């Protein structure tokens, strides 16, 4: 298989990658270097040397009645995590100011729980309005299975995107979460599409999925036409059901990102939570095929120090200043 030729055809719009080719990327051996070069070619063609920075705020933490097996915030898990209600407007705005100063193009606000209640929704809507009127920042909200009415309200307030990950392949979903289904996740994405609100939707790999299932998930995502695609790598947190689940290795993570670049040549592709721990020394290679990262901490886990990521971006001559 000539992946460089395929990359050229993808760039000139005459071909798309198919599932069999994707599986071959995940199962590549010595030929991974040629495939990596082709993925980097696609990145360069569509994204040049641009890297989007996203800064994430956990605006409401813990006591979630959903039972996602990877999540420290689920009441079903015994993880030691911070618990607090929705943060006051002034605190969230201060975090947005810092994100703006640190060159973030997107400020992401996440809340734990199935979905916000009416009071929380109003609070978030007011914050979105304030940030959009005062700062040059895009806002992405991650609020669970939001309803069509909630989406319409947030759209009126000026939200740019709503995050809703598919998380893990349909075939693996009930092994990880039983309180809602894969179809529920897809339903929320359908609501977003119906309302004309851009989605940010990706997954967490390392949850016990097979390569074939991961390919199915990636193509399901492609059908949702997300604006941005975060790829998370499971951080097994002590006290969660998946605390022992270390199934990834650096090259496997890189191959997943390579496959995703072929499937999403011109979509914002983000290496998200867990990138530092899983990609380890080959993380700079990943930066050459993705075009988006989170800077700083994740929801319940620490990320790399911001200065370390900025240094890496500078070393690779990647342009992160908006």
Using CB under 6 A as the criterion, which residues of the chain lie in contact with ligand SF4 when the complex forms?
64, 66, 68, 71, 73-74, 112, 144
* Residue closer to ligand SF4, measured from CB, 42 or 59: 59
Residue 19 CA to residue 15 CA, distance in Å, equals: 13
User: Shortest approach of ligand SF4 to residue 69 CB, angstroms?
Assistant: 9
The minimum distance between CB 73 and ligand SF4, in angstroms, equals 4
CB of 258 to ligand SF4, least distance (A): 27
Nearer to ligand SF4, 144 or 274 (CB): 144
Question: Is the CB of 71 or the CB of 86 nearer to ligand SF4?
Answer: 71
Contact 128, 154 (CB under 8 A): yes
| Nearest CB to ligand SF4, comparing residues 10 and 204 | 204
In the chain, the DSSP E strands lie at 52-60, 106-111, 138-142, 161-163, 198-200, 203-205, 228-233, 268-271, 292-294
Smallest distance from ligand SF4 to CB 178, Å: 11
Q: Enter the DSSP assignment of 84.
A: B
Cβ-based nearer residue to ligand SF4, 68 or 200: 68
**Residue with Cβ nearer ligand SF4 (179 or 308):** 179
The minimum distance between CB 74 and ligand SF4, in angstroms, equals: 4
**Residue 4 beta carbon to ligand SF4: minimum distance, rounded to whole angstroms:** 39
CA nearest to 235, candidates 79, 114, 108, 127: 79
Q: Distance between CA 165 and CA 188 in Å, rounded?
A: 10
In the chain, count H helices and then E strands.
13, 9
Residue 144 or 265 having the CB closest to ligand SF4: 144
Q: How far is the CB of 226 from ligand SF4 (least distance, A)?
A: 18
From 33, 28, 39, select the one nearest 6 (Cα to Cα).
39
3-state secondary structure 31-66: CHHHHHHHHHHHHHHHHCCECEEEEEEEEEECCECC
Q: With contact defined as beta carbons under 8 Å apart, do 110 and 59 qualify?
A: yes
């Amino acid at each position: 298989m000539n992946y460089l030729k395929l990359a050229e055809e993808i760039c000139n719009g005459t071909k798309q990658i198919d599932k069999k080719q994707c599986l071959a990327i995940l199962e590549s051996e010595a030929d991974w270097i040629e495939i990596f070069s082709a993925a980097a070619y696609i990145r360069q063609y569509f994204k040049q040397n641009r890297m989007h920075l996203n800064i994430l705020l956990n605006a409401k933490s813990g006591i979630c009645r959903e039972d996602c097996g990877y999540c420290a915030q689920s009441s079903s898990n015994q993880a030691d995590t911070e618990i607090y209600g929705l943060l006051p407007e002034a605190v969230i705005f201060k975090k947005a100011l810092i994100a703006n100063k640190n060159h973030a193009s997107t400020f992401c606000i996440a809340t734990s729980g199935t979905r916000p209640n009416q009071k929380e929704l109003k609070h978030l809507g007011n914050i979105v309005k304030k940030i959009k009127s005062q700062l040059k920042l895009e806002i992405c909200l991650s609020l669970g299975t939001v309803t069509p009415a909630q989406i319409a309200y947030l759209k009126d307030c000026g939200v740019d995107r709503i995050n809703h990950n598919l998380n893990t392949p349909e075939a693996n979903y009930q092994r990880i979460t039983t309180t809602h289904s894969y179809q529920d996740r897809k339903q929320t994405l359908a609501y977003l599409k119906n309302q004309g609100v851009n989605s940010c939707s990706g997954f967490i790999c390392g949850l016990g999925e097979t390569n074939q299932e991961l390919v199915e998930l990636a193509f399901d995502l492609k059908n949702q036409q997300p604006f941005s695609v975060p790829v998370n790598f499971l951080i097994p947190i002590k006290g969660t059901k998946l605390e022992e689940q270390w199934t990834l290795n650096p090259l496997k993570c890189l191959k997943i990102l390579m496959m995703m670049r072929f499937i999403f040549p011109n979509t914002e592709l983000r290496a998200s939570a867990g990138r530092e721990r899983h990609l380890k020394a080959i993380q700079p290679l990943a930066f050459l095929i993705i075009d988006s990262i989170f800077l700083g901490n994740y929801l319940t886990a620490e990320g790399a120090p911001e200065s370390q990521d900025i240094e890496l971006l500078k070393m690779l001559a990647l342009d992160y200043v908006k």
